[in-house]
Chain A
């Protein structure tokens, strides 16, 4: 059941979790913040995934192909009861499986990732299997915009269309940055809609931070018209924390505890753009 206020409350806490994981070794903070709203909406209001049905063959499946935004996924899991929240404190502890990319050993993770350009084709295999099983489950694959540099994405787009995988929904977290560069300065992606459309896909575009906008399009997706669907969600790297919004140098961040405290204040609106420290590790 969609409730905008509930989504916003969850999203705020997910962003707190992301900031908490951005210290003591750090994480890919900017890329995680950009897709926090998307993941909160999908798990709270779209996917039929609950803590008690994680192995139900009729569940929907979400794959995080841009795996480095996994803090947003784990934060969402913690908020929705899929993952025990205390485990987030195990980030980067070899005794758990919580690290910079998703691991299937963590409840709710459907497939591991890390290397870009893989999970669209893995999702296609699942989508094909689900069609043969005559189930109604939907496959959602979250792609990064930088990830679209990988040729395997476009190879998979071609094959997904040829196989009429209309139970497949790709969502591009279009935050306009890749690791160290704005996407359009490195290898321009626009007009991105036309590229996917040329591959025969249904293409929709939405503001990826506006829950009402997400709720106005997603319940009808993927369109079951014989071809796969892509939703391009325009987002902002670092969304919600002014000091790290839309900055090329804030992809991977390893903040001090004090900096995390400042950034959390920014997140809550009790201060703005306070962080001037350049103490960032860019990977």
Chain B
């Protein structure tokens, strides 16, 4: 039994309100159906019906976890999420499998690389993008303690970073050991990108570049304070995400910078479009999202910045 299954088992045992629904995606929770009996419902490949039913269950006072492929959950059922979960603000926790680059070999139809932007666009719906299984389970436990509509990017991987504090769903987490108040670069990231960004930091620091890394497990509501501090403190800020640049965290940070009138050097490392399907290491490498590529791209950004000279009036 993985930690997700253990969490569902334990929570369902103490909280009779909880129900688990899936649209034929029980791969991560094979031990759960026999444990939960009637409180586990597999509707088949029917994401719209799954969300509608989740809303109906929640309207009866239940807390519902839906678990489905991220691309189909967020896109096929988009209007059902908006109308039936977001508008009435019902406690449905929507867990999306294989988000971002994790759909590796499936091709563009399965790539949830717009999911964060789509879910963030809706009032009332939180967006939680944990970096590893531990953070996922801790965050889910917090959501069970305080149920509300939330989209969760599922991740079951081993620890992405050394945990100093227990996660909270509200706070950005500064991961780097760098104590310098004014780093050369701040890297803002979340979810599956965290270990790759930390690998990039090791390489950057070997070349004498000082880095602050901020992991933002909650994209909505977002810890704006930690972002504003990074924008103020660092010479250059780079957002690294396995998401479309056009609607992801980079867009959000741009909004924040403009709203707070912060003149910042702000750059995206993300996906310009759907990525070529393949195995995950190659997907990361080809899209410039593995540790070495991130380090290389950040270095290039810093070099470009260094060659830009302020122009003088009259020249």
Contacts and interface: CB of A to CB of B under 8 A. Distances in A.
B49 A112 contact: no
B56 A128 contact: yes
Given A115-B79, A124-B49, A129 B38 contact: no
Chain A binding surface, main DSSP class: helix
Given A120-B52, A121-B52, A155-B49, A126 B87 contact: no
Contacts of B80: 118, 121, 152
B83 interface: yes
A122 B43 contact: no
A198 interface: no
A126 B79 contact: no
Contact of A121 (B39, B49, B61): B49
Contacts of A162: 43-44
A186 interface: no
Contact of B53 (A117, A121, A158): A121
B182 interface: no
A276 interface: no
A68 B237 CA distance: 50
Interface string B51-90: 1111111111110000000000000000110011001100
Nearest to A162: B44
A122 B44 contact: no
Nearest to A120: B52
A86 B61 CA distance: 32
Interface string A122-150: 11111111101100000000000000000
A153 to B, nearest CB: 10
21 contacts: A112-B83, A119-B52, A121-B51, A121-B55, A121-B56, A122-B53, A122-B55, A125-B52, A125-B57, A126-B57, A126-B59, A128-B57, A129-B60, A129-B62, A132-B39, A133-B60, A152-B49, A152-B80, A155-B48, A156-B48, A159-B49
Given A112-B87, A128-B41, A122 B46 contact: no
Contacts of B39: 132
Contacts of A261: none
B267 to A, nearest CB: 39
Interface residues of A, number: 29
A130 B79 CA distance: 25
B56 A122 contact: yes
B149 to A, nearest CB: 15
> Which secondary structure dominates chain B's binding surface?
helix
A119, A125, A130: most-surrounded residue (chain B CB, <10 A): A125
Nearest to A113: B83
Contacts of A110: 59
Among the interface residues B44, B54, B55, which one has the most CB atoms of the partner chain A within 10 A? Answer: B55
A6 interface: no
B88 A111 contact: yes
Contacts of B59: 110-111, 122, 125-126
Q: Which 9 residue pairs spanning A and B have beta carbons closest together?
A: A125-B56, A121-B52, A125-B53, A129-B60, A122-B56, A126-B56, A125-B57, A121-B49, A152-B48
Contacts of B50: 121
Contacts of A133: 60
A224 interface: no
Interface of A: 104, 110-112, 114-115, 117-130, 132-133, 152, 155-156, 158-159, 162-163
Given A114-B83, A127-B56, 19 more contacts: A110-B59, A111-B59, A112-B83, A112-B88, A115-B79, A118-B83, A121-B48, A121-B50, A121-B55, A122-B56, A124-B53, A124-B56, A125-B55, A125-B57, A129-B61, A130-B60, A152-B48, A155-B46, A159-B43
A158 B84 contact: no
A158 B53 CA distance: 13
Nearest to B16: A132
A133 B59 CA distance: 13
Contacts of A155: 46, 48-49
Contacts of A118: 52, 80, 83-84
A132 B54 CA distance: 14
A158 B46 contact: yes
A152 B87 CA distance: 19
B58 to A, nearest CB: 8
A124 B53 CA distance: 6
A162 B45 CA distance: 13
Interface string B82-111: 011001100000000000000000000000
B83 A115 contact: yes
B133 to A, nearest CB: 29
A122 B60 contact: no
Interface in B247-299: none
Given A104-B88, A152-B52, A159 B44 contact: yes
B57 A129 contact: yes
Nearest to B62: A129
